[in-house]
Amino acid sequence: MNKLDLSVDLNGLLLKNPITVASGTFGFGREYADYIDLNNIGGISVKGLTLLPRKGNPAPRVIETPMGMINSVGLQNPGVDVFVEEEIPFLRQFDTKIIANINGNTVEDYCGIAERLSAADVDSLELNISCPNVKNGGMAFGTDPKMVAHVVSEVRRVAKKHLIVKLSPNVTNIGEIAKIAEANGADALSLINTLTGMAIDINTRKPLIANVIGGLSGPAVKPVAIKLVHDVYKAVQIPIIGMGGIMKWEDGIEFMLAGADAISIGTANFVNPKVTEEVLEGMTGYFNKNGICSPQEIKGGVTYQK
């Protein structure tokens, strides 16, 4: 009989199991605590934080698309101080890792929030350099190799926490960007953020999202995400949190076979608030059935046809 240990070590961040939730789709956990036991989740990546509160973009900022959704929330959040004072104590009631998703318009912003959170009770910082919904910063950093090197190394210098760098899919060579993040101090990588998208109302001829463009997520993006996780797996040594369209446990296994050490569930939470627990149960069943002792045993386990 195999003895399954579900824990995964993300290069210094130890998750009790490989299931995390994706930033921006789980708030600060409060809304979901009525539906699931937050103790069952390996880690919670909270809504993207900025130094000062942000109102976000004008509505409409979320629309449904075939097999997915486009959002342009624009990093609405109460600011890092409210997070530290009100949300960390709430999350700390649960045995789950707190991953603070950090954002900024400038390198100084990113460093400021990383410094502030280094003194706070969070387990990891997730540097979001891939948000398509802000005018300055965000994806502009994550798609330019020089800027990736600059922002990651500067944040690494001040951050006293485990550091995840969240990559954008909106690039030509994600392996190159991943290597740069690794070389400049990332402890782990997470991917993918949303793909840029747009939709138009044919009667009014107006974009369906007030900000014109937004980020596409959900099952429609999964094959793209699997491919990019596989590319990054081939390029770097550090652990990978894979995400993009995970709706069921089979998707989670597929991400691990592509090269992920852990997975993150986003859009699916809106459809089924219990999805994280269901995915954990299904993946556990798969590990047991196949005599697997640790989730990381199947990392990158895809076999190619001859």
Ligand X SMILES: Cc1cc2nc3c(=O)[nH]c(=O)nc-3n(C[C@H](O)[C@H](O)[C@H](O)COP(=O)(O)O)c2cc1C
Residues marked active site are found at 131
Q: How far is CA 39 from CA 28, 248, 254, in A?
A: 14, 19, 24
Question: Quick check: 240 binds ligand X (CB under 6 A)?
Answer: no
Question: Quick check: 168 binds ligand X (CB under 6 A)?
Answer: no
Q: How far from the centroid of its chain's Cα atoms is residue 87's Cα?
A: 19
Contacting residue, 71, 124, 168, 296, with ligand X by CB under 6 A: 71
Question: Long-range contacts for 143-150 (Cβ within 8 Å, ≥24 apart)?
Answer: 143/168, 143/170, 143/171, 143/177, 145/176, 145/177, 145/180, 148/177, 148/180, 148/181, 148/184, 149/180, 149/183, 149/184, 150/107
CB 280, min distance to ligand X, A: 15
CB 215, min distance to ligand X, A: 6
Question: Quick check: 165 binds ligand X (CB under 6 A)?
Answer: no
Question: Quick check: 267 binds ligand X (CB under 6 A)?
Answer: yes
Instruction: Order across the sheet with 68-71: list the strands.
Output: 62-65, 68-71, 214-217, 195-197
Question: Quick check: 142 binds ligand X (CB under 6 A)?
Answer: no
Contacting residue, 15, 32, 36, 47, with ligand X by CB under 6 A: 47
DSSP H helix total and E strand total for the chain: 10, 14
Question: Quick check: 217 binds ligand X (CB under 6 A)?
Answer: yes
Beta strands at 124-128 and 97-102: parallel, antiparallel or unpaired: parallel
Spatial distance between the Cα atoms of 78 and 46, rounded to a whole number of angstroms: 12
Select the span of 27-35, 84-92, 265-273, 286-294 touching ligand X (CB under 6 A).
265-273
Q: How far from the centroid of its chain's Cα atoms is residue 128's Cα?
A: 8
| Residue 211 or 217 having the CB closest to ligand X | 217
Q: How far apart are the first and last CA of the chain?
A: 33
Question: Quick check: 75 binds ligand X (CB under 6 A)?
Answer: yes
Question: Quick check: 143 binds ligand X (CB under 6 A)?
Answer: no
Tokens of 227: 């491919």
- CB count in 10 Å sphere of residue 255: 27
Q: Which of residues 12-41 bind ligand X (CB under 6 A)?
A: 22-25
Compose the 219-238 pattern: x for residues touching ligand X by CB under 6 A, - for all others: --x-----------------
Question: Quick check: 124 binds ligand X (CB under 6 A)?
Answer: no
Question: Quick check: 72 binds ligand X (CB under 6 A)?
Answer: no
CB 49, min distance to ligand X, A: 8
By CB under 6 A, name the binding residues for ligand X.
22-25, 47-48, 71, 73, 75, 101, 128, 131, 166, 193-194, 217-218, 221, 243-246, 265-268
